[in-house]
């Protein structure tokens, strides 16, 4: 994200004034979109609404914004309704930091007075009209990098908060009123209590961890939350995929119900993907759904499981067969927590990073190739950059296809064969990420044979995985047992699997292929 900020919010939220204060702080000019429109059109916003109507005004607004973007303006105070158009809003989210300034209705009313000069407030009851506009635009205003309260605050302190948000560079998963942010930087875990306070009105936090992440991460989180006067309900599950089951969920349910949590309470997951998936499943079911915060402490859970809203537990019939889609309220990825993670676990997470990079494009693959050594060493800066890249990709894909009806399925690159290898090994001896690395090698072989991918692409993938210390010797796993597990893949439809066939970096296709065809194409 560039250092460019867009200030949004309803009339009276202070966009223009905060833009001027930020302009002083940054020493860069601020553009007021409404003023620029008036200048271009030679008429006031009110006149434009009156003479041309709202649709024509929005078209003019879009055109003017395009030219402001082309100019490279760093600080832009938007109009109150600019973000109501989804395409434009999503573009602003990509092109800079989009911030919504908020205020209570009574504050807004004091600031806008009789509403004169504000065409949408024209008429009798200004309060009722403004309340209606706020309700109508709530989902659009929620899709932003940060919402900042402006009640009883001076503009300079608000500008400083805007400046902080820009430097923290949160990644937004825009989902209307379910929008959430993923913050990725070393030390972000220290903001957890503040994030809980912002996202929930409650005083109780069900803190879910497992025996692997409890010491020191969950314990320190408990201290932080208690220091902020939250009542913590600690739940420590037994670590390991074999405990990703209904008994662990009951442990969370029982603790939460015994503590008499209410709808405003929040479940906070501190741990890897197993803890995250189960804490999220529990959060989605306790009192029909309470808030959820994620502090992933494995690389895999940072780059994959904590974002996107898939929750679940395993059954004897297969992994993740029972679950829900349930988005968190916030995600904090603090790469410092990886300092206690065994190297083999970090490497396993890197397989998902490689997958994301390939799906993302050339620049991301080149980034990993350049920093492979730093990544295996756990360098904080390189790891943060890799996590950001992966989360950005996942956020983009999940926004487009929350329930995996289409493009989200490409995130399964390497997983069809990988899952079968894991299942054939009874989930022992190989980590999920290692199996995914092997699965990607198989997928590239298949792709090359279908004429989609190239020999260079396959060799590049194998070299990158090797550089990161991941296994690539897939042939020794491709026995009858593995292939039989592939045939029973839960995503199989009518004897065919939608296989993710990688092309050049940034390109992957979903091709329905019969399982026996896949078996033939992945073997030497």
Ligand X SMILES: NC(=O)c1ccc[n+]([C@@H]2O[C@H](COP(=O)([O-])OP(=O)(O)OC[C@H]3O[C@@H](n4cnc5c(N)ncnc54)[C@H](O)[C@@H]3O)[C@@H](O)[C@H]2O)c1
Q: Which residues are catalytic?
A: 288, 310, 352, 394, 404, 408, 412, 415, 419, 432
Look up tokens 């600031």; give the residue: 111
Closest Cα to residue 214, out of 270, 252, 255?
A: 270
In angstroms, rounded to a whole number, what is the distance separating the alpha carbons of residues 97 and 49?
28
- In this chain, which of 277, 360, 422, 434 binds ligand X, going by CB under 6 A? 277
Which contiguous run of DSSP H or E holds residue 148?
strand 146-149
Near ligand X in 131-150, by CB under 6 A: none
Choice between 165 and 435, CB closer to ligand X? 435
Choice between 13 and 297, CB closer to ligand X? 297
The span of 34-42, 50-58, 210-218, 467-475 binding ligand X (CB under 6 A) equals: 210-218
Choice between 341 and 417, CB closer to ligand X? 341
- In this chain, which of 17, 265, 284, 337 binds ligand X, going by CB under 6 A? 337
The span of 168-176, 236-244, 251-259, 366-374 binding ligand X (CB under 6 A) equals: 236-244
Q: Does the footprint of ligand X cover residue 351 (CB under 6 A)? A: no
Q: Does the footprint of ligand X cover residue 183 (CB under 6 A)? A: no
- In this chain, which of 273, 293, 453, 502 binds ligand X, going by CB under 6 A? 273
Q: Cβ distance 291 to 229 under 8 Å?
A: no
Nearest approach, Cβ of residue 306 and ligand X (Å): 8
Nearest approach, Cβ of residue 207 and ligand X (Å): 14
- In this chain, which of 4, 118, 244, 347 binds ligand X, going by CB under 6 A? 244
- In this chain, which of 163, 241, 401, 404 binds ligand X, going by CB under 6 A? 241
Phi, psi of 146 (to 5 degrees): -165, 150
Q: How many helices (H) and strands (E) does the chain have?
A: 22, 17
Q: Does the footprint of ligand X cover residue 294 (CB under 6 A)? A: no
Alpha helices by DSSP H, listed for 5-125, are: 15-26, 33-41, 45-52, 54-71, 86-95, 105-112
- With a CB cutoff of 8 Å and minimum separation 6, the contacts of 189 are 217, 220, 221, 224, 295, 332, 334, 336, 337
Q: Does the footprint of ligand X cover residue 308 (CB under 6 A)? A: yes
Q: Does the footprint of ligand X cover residue 310 (CB under 6 A)? A: yes
In angstroms, rounded to a whole number, what is the distance separating the alpha carbons of residues 349 and 343?
10
**Residue 391 vs residues 173, 223, 494: alpha-carbon distances, Å:** 9, 28, 33
Q: Does the footprint of ligand X cover residue 300 (CB under 6 A)? A: yes
Residue 81 CB coordination number (10 Å)? 19
Q: Does the footprint of ligand X cover residue 213 (CB under 6 A)? A: yes
Which contiguous run of DSSP H or E holds residue 173?
strand 171-173
**Residue 250 vs residues 8, 209, 245, 247, 258: alpha-carbon distances, Å:** 43, 14, 9, 5, 12
Choice between 297 and 364, CB closer to ligand X? 297
- In this chain, which of 75, 171, 188, 274 binds ligand X, going by CB under 6 A? 274
Residue 362 CB coordination number (10 Å)? 12
State the residues that interact with ligand X by CB under 6 A: 210, 212-213, 217, 239-241, 244, 271-275, 277, 297-298, 300-301, 304-305, 308, 310, 319-320, 337-338, 340-341, 345, 432
């Amino acid at each position: 994200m560039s250092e460019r900020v867009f200030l949004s919010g309803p009339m009276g939220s202070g966009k223009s004034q905060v833009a001027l204060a930020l302009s002083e702080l940054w020493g860069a000019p601020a553009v007021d979109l409404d003023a620029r429109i008036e200048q271009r059109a030679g008429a006031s916003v009110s006149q434009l609404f009156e003479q041309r109507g709202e649709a024509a005004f929005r078209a003019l607004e879009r055109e003017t914004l395009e030219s402001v973007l082309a100019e490279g303006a760093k600080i832009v105070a938007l109009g109150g309704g600019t973000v109501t158009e989804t395409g434009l809003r999503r573009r602003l989210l990509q092109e800079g930091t989009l911030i919504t300034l908020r205020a209570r209705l009574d504050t807004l009313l004091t600031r806008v007075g009789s509403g004169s000069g504000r065409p949408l407030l024209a008429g009798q009851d200004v309060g009722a009209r403004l309340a209606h506009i706020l309700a109508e635009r709530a989902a659009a205003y929620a899709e932003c990098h940060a919402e900042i309260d402006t009640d009883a605050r001076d503009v300079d302190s608000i500008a400083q908060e805007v400046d902080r948000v820009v430097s923290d560079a949160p990644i937004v998963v825009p989902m209307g009123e379910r929008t959430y942010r993923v913050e990725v930087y070393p030390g972000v875990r220290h903001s957890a209590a503040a994030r809980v306070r912002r996202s929930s009105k409650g005083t109780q936090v069900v803190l879910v961890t497992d025996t692997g992440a409890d010491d020191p991460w969950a314990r320190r989180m408990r201290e932080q939350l208690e220091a902020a006067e939250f009542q913590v309900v600690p739940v420590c599950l037994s670590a390991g995929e074999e405990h990703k089951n209904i008994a662990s969920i009951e442990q969370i349910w029982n603790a939460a119900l015994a503590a008499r949590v209410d709808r405003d309470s929040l479940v906070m997951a501190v741990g890897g993907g197993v803890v995250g998936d189960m804490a999220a499943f529990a959060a989605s079911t306790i009192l029909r759904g309470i808030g959820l915060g994620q502090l992933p402490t494995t690389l895999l859970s940072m780059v994959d499981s904590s974002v996107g809203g898939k929750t679940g537990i395993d059954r004897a019939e297969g992994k993740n067969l029972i679950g829900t889609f349930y988005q968190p309220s916030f995600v904090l990825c603090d790469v410092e927590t990886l300092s206690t993670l065994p190297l083999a676990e970090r490497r396993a997470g890197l397989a998902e990073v490689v997958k994301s990079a390939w799906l993302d494009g050339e620049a991301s693959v080149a980034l990993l190739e350049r920093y492979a050594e730093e990544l295996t060493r756990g360098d904080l800066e390189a790891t943060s950059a890799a996590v950001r890249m992966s989360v950005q990709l996942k956020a983009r894909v999940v926004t487009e296809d929350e329930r995996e009806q289409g493009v989200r399925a490409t995130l399964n690159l390497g997983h069809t064969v990988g899952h079968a290898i894991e299942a054939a090994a009874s989930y022992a001896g190989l980590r999920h990420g290692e199996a995914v690395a092997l699965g990607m090698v198989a997928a590239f072989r298949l792709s090359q044979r279908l004429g989609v991918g190239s020999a260079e692409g396959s060799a590049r993938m194998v070299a990158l995985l090797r550089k990161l210390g991941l296994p690539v010797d897939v042939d020794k796993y491709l026995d009858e047992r593995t292939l039989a597990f592939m045939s029973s893949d839960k995503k199989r439809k009518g004897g065919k699997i939608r296989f993710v066939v990688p092309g050049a970096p940034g390109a992957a296709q979903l091709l329905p292929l019969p399982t026996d065809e896949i078996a033939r194409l992945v073997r030497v």
